[in-house]
A and B are shown apart, each in its own frame.
Chain A
Amino acid sequence: SIMSYNGGVVIAMKGKGCVAIAADRRLGVRGHTVAMDFQKIFEMGPHLYVGLPGLATDTITVAQRLKFRLNMYELRENRRITPKTFASVVANLLYERRFGPYFVEPVIAGIDTKTGEPYICNTDLIGCLNEPDDFVVSGTCVEQAFGMCEALWEPDLEPLDLFETISQALVNAFDRDAMSGWGAVVHVIEKDKVTVRTVKTRMD
């Protein structure tokens, strides 16, 4: 399948006044691992991050196109975009190519700076938004990730606990998937700071 050509997984979780978004770091060409530091999570604002698992070329292209649309928005409106509006921008970009889509399934995580509300969502590859209250997963090991998140997540986790929960969910999910893994990066976004940590994982 074209979505598992390069491999990769992204998870985002909601916590108490914070969100966390985490991804693996592998870039492969079918079974052959090519890089172990491939960036899948991109910063779209101080409190807004988007993860783009799927075909790597589309990951890079969609990240660049989103950044362009975001910059145009900020120039026109003269303010930072809210996560909910950004999700609409992503959905629009993807649905525009309904009959020849980008092979990415984005995950968006951010905090609305005005209200302090955490926000997560993911879309399928043609832009259907899904905005749950708990967690979102996307990538090659969705089934494992769904299972791990469903078991480990609980509401109102503090930032440090949220980091532990999302790291354990991600690492144990991609350890059962041959196409993802080789390191993990976790961003925990709070109202006043963002903590980026790389996690020690199995490298096989």
Chain B
Amino acid sequence: MTKTTIDLPPKGGFSFDLCRRNAFLESQGTKMPKFRKTGTTIVGLIFKDGVILGADTRATEGEIVCDKNCEKIHYLAPNISCCGAGTAADTENVTDMVSSQLELHRYATGRDSRVVTALTMLKSHLFGYQGAVSAALVLGGVDVTGPHLHAVYPHGSTDTLPFATMGSGSLAAMAMFESRFKEGMTREEGIEVVCAAICAGIFNDLGSGSNVDLCVITKGGKEYLRNYQQPNPRSYTHSKGYHFTSGHTAILSSKIRALRNQVRVVEGDAMEEE
């Protein structure tokens, strides 16, 4: 009698069932496709009252810009946020996973999350995958012990700094920070320096572009300023637009399927009650 194998639903974590097939395809000479990267300029800065995080909004797939306005500042906890650079799917999933773990931790401990907790969860996950999960993060938040800012590298090492930059535009941004940063800046000064750093990345680095996103975290709360600055409006548009007359495209066949509600009330008498 043949033994049948049941395909059980996965319990979470990665599945490696296609690795052998993909390795075979690669050995045959086919090129592996590129993952979507965030290119990116991401920065963080500690000011008088807390932390300011900034990011650009371009996502690239090879040399093509596939998303002109993506979100690179991820939510981790009500008082903690994280900017992500590297492979976009990795940054998205790693931050979502740690955000869920932090929420469970909050329920278990009954306290607000601390930034070092998020940091430890992130670095141990990334180190475990030995850099294969390509996520470079700038983690910032304000907890009971004060404001914190950390840079997390894909292999799992971390830096604790008063100002940090990551991504392909990090050199341009760091140049702005090194010349303009000072301790104990006000909110307005901090925002100006962060915007200048992100704009340096946007205009000088090819992997970064579009708009500036900010997140200002203080003891009082978190303020997410999506598209705070939009220095690159869409420039080349046809003023009249392109209009095709109805019937311009040649059609071979056409089928219309009406979608009705699943339950339709039809005339009838109510059932007699015994």
**A→B interface (CB under 8 Å):** 1-3, 5, 46-47, 72, 91, 94-103, 123-130, 132, 142-143, 146, 151-152, 154, 160-161, 163-165, 167-168, 171, 191-200
Q: List residues of chain B with CB within 8 A of the CB of A143.
A: 64
The answer to whether A197 and B251 touch across the interface, beta carbons within 8 angstroms, is: yes
With A97-B17, A154-B241 in contact, is A198–B252 under 8 Å at CB?
yes
* 0/1 interface trace, chain B 78-89, chain A, CB 8 Å (1 if under): 000000000111
Contacting pair B93 A193 (CB below 8 A): no
| Contact between A192 and B30, CB atoms less than 8 A apart | no
Nearest A residue to B71 via CB reads: A131
Give 5 closest A-B pairs by Cβ, nearest first.
A100-B19, A128-B89, A200-B250, A124-B36, A164-B244
Besides the known contacts A128-B88, A130-B59, A197-B252, 20 further A-B residue pairs in the complex with CB atoms under 8 A apart: A1-B30, A1-B31, A1-B32, A2-B32, A95-B89, A95-B93, A97-B14, A124-B35, A124-B61, A124-B66, A151-B242, A152-B242, A161-B244, A164-B244, A164-B245, A164-B249, A168-B248, A171-B249, A194-B259, A198-B253
A97–B15 contact, CB under 8 A? yes
Bound Cα distance from A2 to B15, whole angstroms: 21
* Closest-CB distance, B254 to chain A (whole angstroms): 5
What are the residues of chain A within 8 A of B31 when measuring CB–CB?
1-2
Q: Assuming A130-B59, A197-B254, A200-B251, is B33 touching A1 (CB within 8 A)?
A: yes
Task: Find the A residue at minimum CB distance from B38.
Answer: A128
- Report chain A residues within 8 Å CB of B30: 1-2, 5
Q: How far is the CB of B195 from chain A (nearest CB, A)?
A: 24
Q: Decide yes or no whether B185 CB sits under 8 A from chain A.
A: no
Question: How many residues does chain B have at the interface if contact means C-beta atoms less than 8 Å apart?
Answer: 56
The answer, among B10, B18, B59, for a CB contact under 8 Å with A101, is B18
Contact B67 A126 (CB under 8 A): no
Given known A-B contacts A2-B32, A128-B88, A151-B242, A100 and B18 have beta carbons under 8 A apart: yes
B69 at the interface (CB under 8 A from A): yes
Given A124-B36, A193-B258, also A99-B14 (CB < 8 A): yes
Instruction: Give the residue of B59, B88, B250 whose beta carbon is less than 8 angstroms from that of A199.
Output: B250
Which residues of B sit under 8 angstroms from A128, Cβ to Cβ? 35-36, 59, 87-89, 92
**Docked CA distance A96–B31 (Å):** 21
A sample of 5 cross-chain residue pairs with beta-carbon separation below 8 angstroms, ordered by A number, consists of A1-B33, A100-B23, A161-B243, A195-B256, A200-B251
Q: Which residues of A contact B89 (CB under 8 A)?
A: 91, 94-95, 98, 123-124, 126-128
Give B residues with C-beta under 8 Å from A. 9-10, 13-23, 25, 30-33, 35-36, 59, 61, 64, 66-70, 87-90, 92-93, 132-133, 238, 241-246, 248-260
Chain B minimum-CB-distance residue to A111: B259
Across the interface, do B259 and A192 meet the contact criterion of CB distance under 8 Å? yes
> B246 and A164: CB pair below 8 A?
yes
- Of B67, B89, B242, most buried by chain A (CB within 10 Å of CB) is B89
**Assembled-state Cα–Cα distance A170/B24 (Å):** 33
Question: Considering the chains assembled together, what is the distance between the CA atoms of A168 and B251 in angstroms?
Answer: 12
**Once the chains bind, are A193 and B250 in contact (CB under 8 Å)?**
no
- Residues of B within 8 Å of A127, CB to CB, are 89, 93
The answer to whether A125 touches B35, judged by C-beta atoms less than 8 angstroms apart, is yes
Residues from chain A with a CB closer than 8 A to the CB of B249 are 163-164, 167-168, 171, 199
Partner of A100, one of B21, B66, B92: B21
A65–B95 CA distance with the chains assembled, in angstroms:
26
Q: Which of B16, B22, B244 contacts A165 (CB 8 A)?
A: B244
Complex CA gap A193/B248 in Å reads: 22
Given contacts A1-B31, A1-B33, A100-B18, contact A193 B59 (CB under 8 A): no
